[in-house]
């Protein structure tokens, strides 16, 4: 997790980036990616892939690890930086990387330039540093996931910050203009100013104090609380204009600990002005002063907002004043980290809806299917039957149909919806009707538990 060194970037070949991308893809479901899988993903020969991996290890872009059961490679922040920079260069967002501007507990900031010569700020999120590893209680990037890499968490942090920055900028808040993001890198407007912690003199501390308090209230009226509103995340230019930065820890005013977060932001500003500028004011906002007029927390899905409409369920809230050290129980193991999460979720919901329609249709066909009917009986349907015989057959078929419907519901409870629907639709397609009860019995005999099959025989569902 050292400094960003882009000297090697210009010398990496297309195959080098293919192997780096293969390691990234393999880490979706592998902690250590074996060489055989890397060769398959990168579509390279085994020997050629090994040669490239040795060079990448030499330049500290990947790490070789070996355990008792597996040996392979892992992507580190150096390789992740190169993948993000390569994508941003391909989009013509940046063309060069300059000096480092600052270092924080969660990120590094660099000056970059666009092809047109305009300067931007590049923020590389680097979660996992020893100074900030209590992420489980401090942030909600992971939601309910059990196993997560620091690279994936950094990507979630960058994505969340870009969403906050864009929503706030569109509504006139004093934040940097967002430009683009990829993986764990966020490109934003370069602010010509200084952090408030480096300012020692002010012409009018009372006016600036009031402006800070108004900004806290304005955020709360839009449904958001900064959560870390202090001198390190506020910048001033030469005209004492405020710029607010660092948004991943924002929470909703609907958060269970929203009042505590709000009071903490207010206290940070009051304490700083009293200590640095010897200015104290009896006027300060409280959580009861909030008059919520917008629901910006809904748009950006801020932590603490009710997630009834979200497919991931309730978020794991950041810790409050009482539960800062508590451990939360995790239930959901989701390691999917590609850039099409929302699209895949929509496709999956649509597919499940179609599957349910197929299941209902199959159940109706199954209920009306004459299981005991043979091909010979089908050909003799034009013959006359007595009224008593017709009524008796109808009662028998109705009982069998109801029993089969119950069996179908039992199968639905035992297995997943998708597998049942696909198997039902395969067994019940019109081209298979000619097989009669023998085909259906063979299908149920293979798929159903032995006890259910015996029950079918006892009730005369399958007559042969």
Active-site residues, by number, are 228
Integer distance in angstroms from the first to the last C-alpha of the chain?
Answer: 71
User: And the tokens for 292?
Assistant: 């919520």
Phi and psi at 188, nearest 5°, equal -140, 175
Name, in order, each residue with C-beta under 8 angstroms of 201's C-beta and a sequence gap of 6 or more.
Answer: none
| Residue ranges with strand state E in 245-402 | 251-252
Contact criterion met (CB below 8 Å) for 47 and 38? no
What is the DSSP code string of 319-358? P-SSSTTPPPP--------STTHHHHHHHHHHHHHHHHHH
Contact criterion met (CB below 8 Å) for 112 and 122? yes
Phi and psi at 411, nearest 5°, equal -65, -40
β-pair partners for 234: 244
Contact criterion met (CB below 8 Å) for 192 and 262? no
- Say how far apart CA 46 and CA 30 lie, in whole Å: 19
Selection from 389, 398, 392 nearest residue 368 by Cα: 398
| Residue given tokens 């569902």 in the structure block | 461
Give the C-alpha distances (Å, rounded to integers) separating 114 from 80, 90, 184: 20, 12, 19
Contact criterion met (CB below 8 Å) for 75 and 69? no
Contact criterion met (CB below 8 Å) for 305 and 229? no
**What is the per-residue burial (b if ≥16 Cβ within 10 Å, else e) of 129-150?**
eeeeeebbbbbbbbbbbeebbb
User: And the tokens for 223?
Assistant: 């449904």
């Amino acid at each position: 997790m050292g400094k960003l060194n882009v000297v090697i970037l210009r010398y990496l070949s297309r195959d080098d980036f293919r192997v780096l991308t293969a390691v990234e893809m393999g880490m979706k479901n592998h902690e250590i990616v074996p060489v055989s899988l890397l060769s398959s993903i990168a579509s390279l020969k085994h020997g050629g892939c090994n040669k490239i991996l040795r060079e990448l290890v030499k330049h500290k872009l990947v790490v070789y690890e070996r355990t008792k059961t597996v040996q392979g490679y892992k992507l580190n922040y150096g390789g992740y930086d190169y993948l993000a920079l390569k994508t941003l260069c391909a989009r013509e967002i940046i063309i060069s990387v300059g000096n480092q501007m600052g270092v924080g507990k969660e990120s590094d900031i660099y000056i970059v330039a666009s092809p047109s010569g305009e300067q931007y700020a590049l923020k590389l999120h680097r979660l996992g540093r020893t100074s900030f590893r209590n992420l489980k209680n401090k942030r909600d990037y992971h939601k309910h996931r059990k196993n997560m890499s620091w690279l994936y968490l950094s990507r979630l942090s960058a994505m969340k910050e870009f969403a906050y920055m864009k929503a706030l900028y569109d509504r006139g808040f004093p934040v940097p203009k967002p430009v683009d993001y990829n993986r764990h890198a966020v490109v934003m407007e370069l602010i010509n100013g200084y952090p408030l912690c480096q300012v020692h003199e002010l012409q009018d501390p009372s006016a600036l104090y009031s402006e800070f308090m108004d900004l806290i209230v304005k955020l709360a009226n839009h449904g958001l609380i900064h959560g870390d509103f202090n001198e390190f995340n506020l910048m001033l230019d030469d005209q004492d204009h405020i710029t607010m930065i660092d948004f991943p820890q924002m929470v909703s005013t609907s958060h269970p600990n929203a009042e505590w977060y709000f009071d903490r932001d207010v206290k940070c500003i009051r304490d700083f002005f009293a200590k640095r500028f010897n200015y104290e004011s009896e006027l300060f906002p409280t959580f009861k002063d909030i008059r919520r007029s917008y629901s910006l927390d809904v748009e950006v899905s801020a932590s603490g907002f009710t997630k009834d409409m979200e497919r991931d369920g309730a978020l794991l809230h950041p810790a409050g004043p009482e539960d800062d050290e508590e451990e939360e129980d995790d239930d959901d193991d989701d390691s999917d980290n590609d850039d099409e999460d929302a699209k895949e979720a929509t496709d999956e919901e649509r597919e499940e809806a179609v599957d349910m329609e197929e299941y209902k249709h199959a159940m109706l066909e199954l209920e009306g299917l004459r299981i005991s009917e043979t091909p010979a009986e089908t050909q003799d349907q034009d013959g006359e039957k007595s009224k008593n015989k017709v009524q008796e057959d109808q009662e028998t078929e109705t009982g069998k149909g109801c029993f089969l419907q119950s069996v179908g519901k039992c199968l639905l409870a035992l297995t997943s919806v998708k597998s049942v629907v696909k198997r039902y639709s395969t067994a019940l397609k019109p081209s298979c009707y000619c097989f009669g009860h023998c085909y259906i019995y063979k299908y149920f005999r293979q798929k159903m538990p032995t006890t259910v099959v015996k029950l079918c025989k006892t009730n005369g569902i399958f007559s042969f």
